[in-house]
Structure 1
Amino acid sequence: MRCAWAEQSDAERVYHDTEWGVPIHDDRLLFEVLALRGVQAGLAWRIVLTKREAFRRAFHGFDIARVAAMGDGAIATVLADRALIRNRLKIEAIRANARLTLRLIEDEGSLAAFLWSFVDGVPKVNVRREGEPLPVFDDASDRMSAALRERGFRFAGTAICYATMQSAGMVDDHALACFRRS
């Protein structure tokens, strides 16, 4: 048995079964998660999942330095790519957040150390029975969002931060009956 939300599409099933809730400590992968969760704002996650490979191509595999170095012409090319979600604010935020991420890494040592500090370096395991709604924020995501926004990050609200925490394994929200439960 898997979490009910993952039964709506093949992309969600594969993502749930192989990635969701698996701890990530790699800065590039964490940046990708944060960027894609920002793109998700107002959309279903399955839409973003179906376009993830196109986003990886457009944003150099989410190599933080390469994304930060993208000029306005490169952003215009990304905005013209029909394989992507072409929201100017979201696309420009990815580049801006990459630049801020480089500064954060310089200040904190790594994006991973910074993000994981909000859960004291240990995944938080929630108890949720099948059918109970998934949380969309908590105290840790509130603090993470405030810290990122204070640094100038865009598309870093508490719900985006909580979804990032779920994706990056900082929070385990698998239902009790789910085979992926910790």
Structure 2
Amino acid sequence: MNQPLHLLQGLILMLPERCAWCSADPLYVDYHDHEWGVPLHDDHRLFEMLILEGVQAGLSWLTILRKREHYRAAFDDFDPERIARYDAAKIADLLANPGIVRNHLKIAAAIRNAQGYLTIREQQGGFNAFLWRYVEFQPRQNAWPTLVEVPTRTPEAEAMSRDLKRLGFNFVGPTVCYAFMQAVGMVNDHTTNCFRHREVQELA
């Protein structure tokens, strides 16, 4: 039985407003509502997110979300010690895996980045401490009214990119680094009309 028009209009008004980049895809909505912008401090998961953000270059984030579980299986749950030791045979297996982005440069970058991660852990004590110093260990609380005002790179992201590249990381340009900073909650870039803006702000 069809719902009366006034009831449907009421349901629409009750729907939470989200950032304009979030589509209606349930996987994307769940990611937006529960992950994006939430401060993340686990070294392992920070490494995972940096790898996935690099893989996303030239693709949509939804494409990567749909492949994330395949990536976790293919890349040993993003264990940097194991990834750092991947050899030509393992690379060949990954290039044959339809569940991931079969790009040789991006696979090679994951290996180099794992090696860089181990260097940071040895020399600086941890990945979390290394990364969060770019925002002085406190999430930046932005207040962008609309998506068009949200930057794609910042001086902090540029500094992170330069430092990571010096350590041998690949696919870590300033735009990738800023997308990573947004994703792991180093900055709160939910637009002010989004219901998550205040919730994420309170998490800080």
Give the TM-score of the pair, scaled to structure 1: 0.96
Cα deviations across residues 101-121 of structure 1 (Å, max 9, x unaligned)? 101111110011000010000
CA–CA separation in structure 1 for the residues paired with 2:110 and 2:141: 29
Residue from 10, 13, 21 that aligns with 1:5: 21
Q: Give the greater-gyration-radius structure (CA).
A: 2
Cα deviations across residues 63-90 of structure 1 (Å, max 9, x unaligned)? 1111112222111101100111101000
- What value does the CA root-mean-square deviation take over the aligned residues? 1.1
CA–CA separation in structure 1 for the residues paired with 2:92 and 2:180: 27
Query: Aligned residue for 2:128?
Result: 112
Q: How does 1:83-94 map to 2 (within 5 A)?
A: 83-94=99-110
Query: Aligned residue for 2:70?
Result: 54
CA–CA separation in structure 2 for the residues paired with 1:86 and 1:131: 31
Query: Which residue identity is paired with 1:179?
Result: F
Query: Which residue identity is paired with 2:178?
Result: Y
CA–CA separation in structure 2 for the residues paired with 1:156 and 1:132: 23
Q: CA deviation at 1:131?
A: 4.3
Residue from 43, 46, 67 that aligns with 1:27: 43
Residue from 55, 79, 83 that aligns with 2:95: 79
Query: Aligned residue for 2:54?
Result: 38
Query: Aligned residue for 2:171?
Result: 155
Q: CA deviation at 1:133?
A: 4.1
Query: Aligned residue for 1:98?
Result: 114
Q: CA deviation at 1:8?
A: 4.5
3-state DSSP of counterpart to 2:195: coil
Query: Aligned residue for 1:130?
Result: 146
CA–CA separation in structure 1 for the residues paired with 2:55 and 2:24: 20
Contact 2:138 2:186 in 1 (8 A): yes
CA–CA separation in structure 2 for the residues paired with 1:67 and 1:92: 10
Q: CA deviation at 1:4?
A: 1.3
CA–CA separation in structure 2 for the residues paired with 1:5 and 1:13: 10
Unaligned runs of 5+ in 2: 1-16
Unaligned runs of 5+ in 1: none
Cα deviations across residues 141-170 of structure 1 (Å, max 9, x unaligned)? 010001101111100100000011011100
Rate the CA distance shift 1:129–1:84 in 2: closer, same or farther, 3 A: same
- Equivalenced residue count is 182
Q: CA deviation at 1:7?
A: 2.1
CA–CA separation in structure 1 for the residues paired with 2:33 and 2:44: 21
